[in-house]
Structure 1
């Protein structure tokens, strides 16, 4: 039994939604890759606690990518089982996203502590680990910063305390060495932790906007899928 208006429109909306949802999945994959690359440089960390969020975003994007493809097939073939499975999976993804957002808010202070600890660890190994040294130098040049909290942090590192100097990447100008003095204008005085926090606050707004957009489409998708399920179960032939 064909329904000329309502269910035919719902089927079309489910199909269109899944295409948009597929695009959202691609966007999450891109954001996850970008965040992983950026944090590897900005946070100078390789621990699971710091890289977990970008990887989680990347995995979520891949899952959404395949779930949306599954939803498209279910809508096109008018399969009650596939549409039901799609609605259930989408609901689970939505709940996981809410849980992740709550966890991110609760543990935001811990993230700062982890970043600071890793920065200090990188500073202590400066000059001993070449790749790590290059990342610290790049971090200080990119954020115009010096040390974790400020330039005096380098005075606690043995090799720099003896000569009263800081790494060349702390210099405002390209010189062979940077002597540290309280009134020095040749080095960056602010710490890298401040720069990283500012960077994260700036980019978290973009991530939040994308997340809200995806959540909105997920809710629409669940509603449309439930309507289509009801129509198929009622024995209507959706054209």
Structure 2
């Protein structure tokens, strides 16, 4: 028995909000891919825990994408089972997002130390591991940075100590001697930890805005899904 009256309105609201979820899922997938590409080299030289962050955003986007599609089908077919499953899954995702937001706030001060440790470890492998060497060179060129804290960090690396040089990827200008006896005039003075932190702070507002928007629509989606479940169940009871 199809839902009637006000429940029809709720049905189309559930369908509409699921379409919004679908768009949010696509947005998260895009943000995850963008973060993975933009921070790709930083993630190679950093720790495994930080490398999983863009992947986690991407996975969350995929999950929301499929759950919203599931909810749309449930609303359109007026399936009590599908709408109930959708509401439960959406509630679980909402709780996980709250837990992730709290964890991110609590551990936000550890980002600098994790980046610093990862970069220092990568610098020690410079010239020995081709993949790390290439990643670190590209990171320094892309973020206009040199070393972890600053360019003097390279003085602690064995292969650069003797002749007082830094990698050519630190150079402000493309000359053959810019990396010899480095100074702020010839190489990037800012460290990569500071540069990456600045990039993350600049882009975190976009992520936060998307997350808040998704959370708002999730709450409304759960409420309307529960109302639709009640309407569908009442229809079955009348039959």
Both proteins in one fold, TM over 0.5: yes
Aligned to 1:206: 206
| Secondary structure, counterpart of 2:204 in structure 1 | helix
Matches within 5 A, 1:10-29: 10-29=10-29
Equivalences for 1:1-239 in 2 at 5 Å? 5-45=5-45, 47-177=47-177, 178-180=179-181, 184-235=184-235
Tell me how large the CA RMSD over aligned residues is. Answer: 1.8
Moved more, 103-112 or 155-164: 103-112
Would you say the 8 A contact 2:31–2:57 is kept in 1? yes
In structure 1, C-alpha distance between the alignment counterparts of 2:234 and 2:206, rounded to whole Å = 42
Segments of structure 2 that go 5 or more residues without pairing to the other structure are none
Gaps of 5+ in 1: none
Report if aligned partners of 2:166, 2:182 keep a CA contact under 8 Å in 1.
Answer: no
Cα drift, residue 20 of structure 1 = 1.2
CA distance in 2, matches of 1:131, 1:3: 60
Deviations 1:62-82 (A, max 9, x none): 111111111111111111111
Count of aligned pairs = 236
Equivalent residues of 2:2, 2:78 under 8 A apart: no
Contact 1:148–1:191 (Cα < 8 Å) also in 2: yes
**What is the DSSP-based 3-state SS (H/G/I as helix, E as strand, rest coil) of the residue aligned with 2:19?**
helix
Corresponding residue SS for 2:9: helix
TM-score (norm 1): 0.92
Contact 1:84 1:226 in 2 (8 A): yes
Contact 2:123 2:157 in 1 (8 A): yes
